[in-house]
Structure 1
Amino acid sequence: MPYKASCHCGQVAFTFEGEFKEALACNCSLCGRRGSLLWFMPREQLQLLTPDEAAASYTFNKHVIQHRFCPRCGIHTHGEGRDPKGQQVAAVNVRCVEGVDLDQLHVHHFDGRAI
């Protein structure tokens, strides 16, 4: 199913295909503060509708994940990195996806603080 996602002001927007029934809630020092719900997919499935430079990036800890957000409205839209096998992945903030009933998603809680 095709989805569209964006930040609050629309400066960062993208589409992707997929079927998701669950999302991940991480309790690491960053995710715990921003409250995003994440869904992972291969990076090539995420198609930017706005220029890549429209989003700012933040890294921390091991500096391997690019946490992408809008520098205008501050909303975290997605992250980019590599999975344990070295494949490029994207983690979409499901709260930014249009038409998703968050109450219908199973939320898997991940202990990011333990890493």
Structure 2
Amino acid sequence: MGTWSGSCHCGQVRFTVTAEITELTTCDCSLCVKKNAVMAKVHESELVITAGEDRLGLYQWNTGRAQHRFCLGCGIYTFHRKRAAPDHYGVNVFCLDDFDVAAFPVRATEGIGMTVECPDPRPEWPGPRTSSARPRAGGDPS
């Protein structure tokens, strides 16, 4: 079990993680590819926001179950509540102070095949569509 302090780049958002981390993950879904984070999965009880909760922005897409948090000041992705395990967070380990990323194995997870369930998905979002998910007319990415 380890304890790490973490923060965004500007320091407005600060948090502590106390967890047994055994591996790190990457994800190939359309969002994770763009943010290029390496994450540690921790139970919600193992992450405590110590400052700046009011400075956390929220990004949700597709099903809206995952809650991606970022600093409103500097824009850094800090952590997200997971879609497949909503009682867990994926923590951006590059936000953790004195965390030795090289000391942990990194496992690639498959997110590209997760279903796209929102009623108006962008054509760029990969994954099988449900009946309610129809690509936008004309491929308009806005």
* TM-score using structure 1 length: 0.89
What does 1:1-115 align with in structure 2 at a 5 Å threshold? 1-81=2-82, 83-84=84-85, 88-115=87-114
Contact 1:20-1:39 within 8 A present in 2 as well: yes
Cα deviation for residue 82 of structure 1 reads: 5.9
Q: Secondary structure at the match of 1:90?
A: strand
Distance 1:33 1:77, change over 3 A: same
CA contact (8 A) 2:55 2:73 kept: no
Q: 1:112 to 1:59 in 2, by over 3 A?
A: same
The change in CA–CA distance for 1:89 and 1:45 in structure 2 (over 3 A counts) is: same
Match of 2:119 in 1: none
Structure scoring higher RCO (CA < 8 A, sep ≥ 6) equals 1
Gaps of at least 5 residues in structure 1 are none
Please tell me the root mean square deviation across aligned C-alpha atoms, in Å. Answer: 1.5
Asked if the contact 2:21/2:41 (under 8 Å) is kept, the reply is no
Q: Which runs of 4+ in 1 moved over 6 A?
A: none
Unaligned runs of at least 5 residues, structure 2: 115-142
CA distance in structure 1 between the partners assigned to 2:111 and 2:84 by the alignment? 15
Name the amino acid aligned to 1:24: T
1:19, CA displacement in angstroms? 2.5
The offset of 1:51, in angstroms, is 3.7
Deviations 1:57-97 (A, max 9, x none): 1011111011000011111000124655xx62111111111
| TM-score w.r.t. length of structure 2 | 0.74
Partners in 1 of 2:73 and 2:93 — Cα distance? 20
Alpha carbons 2:4, 2:99 under 8 Å: kept: no
Give aligned pairs, total: 113
